[in-house]
Every structure is written in structure tokens, then in C-alpha cells.
């Protein structure tokens, strides 16, 4: 199985995956597989994805999801992800038609040991149905807000 990284998402966007559509909203969740890159490089890659979405579909609102935490217990990668999310949030703040939904670690991390439950991430990286449910509610609220003026049957 090939690992998909931000550069693969960007290639697909540049290669026409958004052509022939006129979406009102584009939701992006990317970056977790770039764990071996620097914080700055991941932030830049995510910003390039946002820019490409805006260039290809200027009428759409881009909702960029923060990278969820990973690892059963606190670890350097969680802190790196938090830095990426903070960097992206500061870059998209005030951008027209771009919203960041930071995946609040408290949705997944709990207890005195700051652990993630296997019920939310079976391998402490990939979301389970329960994990996606925790992400879905705030995302749904954002989608409703951004789609409320559209006449969607």
C-alpha cells in the first residue's frame, strides 16, 4: 500500500480532480503522513493545497481540518502535529473563504496519562467510527453554516 502525502494530494488537485465540478465547500484533511518532514514544510504544503483549491474553485469555501493527534500516549509527534495545526491556523486566519477546523486533541485524548483510546483510533493513528463521529459533529456544524444559503434539496 502506498503512503499518500500532501504532495500526492497537490498533484491530484493540479491534475484536474476538481475540474467539472462547482462545489460550495471543499473539505481537506491532509498532512499526517508527512510526519518525517519539518513543521514548516508541512505547513507550506497544506497552504499550497489551500491555494490550489482556491485557484481552481474560487467560489468554494475551503474547510481545512487540523491533523488529529496520534500515538497511544503523549509523544514528540503529537507536539509536532500541534505545531503544524497552530502554524496553519495562524496562516489561514482572516483568509477569505478558508476556515480551519482544528481537531481539538481533547476530542481524542483523555485521562491522566493523556492516552488515545483504541475505540477512537484502532491503531492510534487511523480514526474508527467513534473517532470520525467526534470529528463529524463540529464539521457538520461548519458545513451547515457555510451551506445554509444554498438551495440544496
Domain boundaries, the chain: 23-147
Walk along the chain (153 residues) and give the pLDDT tens digit of each residue.
456 788 999 999 999 999 998 999 999 999 999 889 999 999 999 999 999 999 999 999 999 999 999 999 999 999 999 999 999 999 999 999 999 998 888 899 998 999 999 999 999 999 999 999 999 999 999 999 888 866 655
Q: Note the CATH number of domain 23-147.
A: 3.40.50.1110
For 46-105, the three-class secondary structure string (H helix, E strand, C coil) is: HHHHHHHHHHHCCCCEEEEECCCCCCCCCCHHHHHHHHHHHHHHHHHCCCCCEEEECCCH
Whole-structure pTM value: 0.90
Amino acid at each position: 500500500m502506498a503512503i499518500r502525502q500532501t504532495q500526492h494530494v497537490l498533484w491530484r488537485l493540479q491534475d484536474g480532480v476538481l475540474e467539472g465540478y462547482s462545489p460550495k465547500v471543499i473539505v481537506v484533511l491532509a498532512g499526517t503522513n508527512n510526519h518525517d518532514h519539518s513543521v514548516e514544510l508541512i505547513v507550506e504544503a497544506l497552504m499550497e493545497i489551500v491555494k490550489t483549491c482556491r485557484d481552481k474553485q474560487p467560489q468554494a469555501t475551503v474547510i481545512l481540518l487540523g491533523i488529529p493527534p496520534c500515538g497511544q500516549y503523549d509523544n514528540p509527534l503529537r507536539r509536532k502535529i500541534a505545531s503544524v495545526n497552530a502554524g496553519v491556523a495562524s496562516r489561514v486566519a482572516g483568509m477569505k473563504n478558508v476556515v480551519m477546523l482544528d481537531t481539538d486533541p481533547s476530542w481524542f485524548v483523555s485521562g491522566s496519562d493523556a492516552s488515545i483510546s483504541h475505540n477512537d483510533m484502532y491503531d492510534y493513528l487511523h480514526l474508527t467510527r467513534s473517532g470520525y463521529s467526534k470529528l463529524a459533529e463540529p464539521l457538520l456544524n461548519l458545513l451547515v453554516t457555510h451551506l445554509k444559503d444554498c438551495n440544496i434539496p
